[in-house]
Structure formats: C-alpha cells, structure tokens
Structure 1
Amino acid sequence: MDLISRARRIGLALLATAMIATPATAQTPAAYDGDWAGTLEAGGQKLRLEFHLKTEGGQTTGELNSLDQGATIPATAVKADGGELSVLFLPIGGELKAKLSADGKALVGSWTQGATLPLTLTKK
C-alpha cells in the first residue's frame, strides 16, 4: 500500500469517527431555546400553552404557561438526547417530549400527564 492510499484511508477513518462522535445540532437543550406556543386538545377542551426555554452558562431553565388555566409550571428537568427534547414538570406529573422540525420553527411531539396527547408548539 502506498503512502497516499494509506493517508487517504486514515483520513476517511478520522472523518467517519468525527461524524459518529459529533452530536447533532439539536442534541443540547440550547438548540431548543426560545418561546413556543400551541394548543393542547384534552378531553374536549382546547388549552392554549406557552413554553419558554432558556440556556445560560450551561444551565437550562424552562416553564410552561397554561393560559386558559392561569397556571405557570416551572420545568423540573430538561434533557436533550438522540434529537429529542424531554422536559419534566414533576409538580403536575407532566412531561413534554418533542423533536425540532427540520426548519427549526416547531417542536413536534407529545404531552403526557396520565394520558399521552399529541402536541405541536410553534416558535413565537
């Protein structure tokens, strides 16, 4: 094997390793930062929701506002893994799971609080 072929193979191996080891852009909670709004349909009711997520100094905080119920619920934990955002709201036993749309303008997923319901939030 000549030197050029060997260098090319090493280069391709390094590139493949880097691609596997590099997380996708949406793998950190900061990729989901912003103000989001949507409507949750639950038991014949439509509940308008606002979701706010902010990352500063490596710490991510969030809160969910249920406009029709006059409630603000702070996020207990925020995690992004495998391209999916997961936000726990332990005081109410709720969880938001969503993926960022390809254009970055929507969080598409579900809200679980006893039952699991579809939920799409769009960036404000």
Structure 2
Amino acid sequence: MAESVRIDTWVWGVRLAKTRSQATAACRAGHVRVNGVAAKAAHPVRLGDEVRVRLHGFDRIYRVAGLPVRRGSAAEAAKHFEDLTPPPPPRVERPAAVVRDRGAGRPTKRERREIDRLRGRDAQD
C-alpha cells in the first residue's frame, strides 16, 4: 500500500469532487489546504493529515484515515476520511414573509416601506 497519494487523487477518490479534473481545478484555485498550507494538485497527503476543502461556499475539514487506490462506492470512500467540520450555527428565525394576493400588482410605496421594515432593511436617513 502506498505511503502517500496526490491530494487531487485523494479528493476525487473520497468523492469530494465528481471528476479528477475538478479536484485538480479546486487545488489550483486554492480551495484545498493540507495541514493549513495551500496545496497544489501533486501535493502528497498521508494518513493523519488535516485537509480543508471549500465546497459549495462552505469550508469542510477532514482527517485522512485512508489512502484510496481507486475511486469506489460512497460507503468505501467514507472509510478513508473522518469529518471534523463543526456543526453550522443555528439559523436565525426571520419574521413571517409578507403575503400579497396573486395578481395584486406591484407594491405601493407605502407597502414597499412596510416590507422593508419587516425584513430588517429599514432605511434610516
């Protein structure tokens, strides 16, 4: 078994990217970090390394638990990493949305101000 694997191969092998070229592009764009350092596609990753990947606008943190030789099933891929990502903060409840009758047309200036006030976009000039 190999002692290390290229980071783009690992990201692709554990199904964080659909294709190897997408994994390479993510590395090139600076979305992949190994142990806090931006990683190029050929950067070697070893067991126990911490990998941070920016996926869909969110940073995910993984610990390398295995080095996949090839891309396998999702169940097989899950054996090769440990997810260390903290849970997201609780969502803030927003006030109820303003409901307008269908076909009522555009809101009047007064209605627009009420909508903005409800949404917290109160213009204080």
- TM superposition score category, shorter chain reference: 0.3 to 0.5
Structure (1/2) with the larger strand percentage:
1
Q: TM-score, normalised by structure 1?
A: 0.32
Q: Which has the larger radius of gyration?
A: 2
Q: TM-score, normalised by structure 2?
A: 0.32
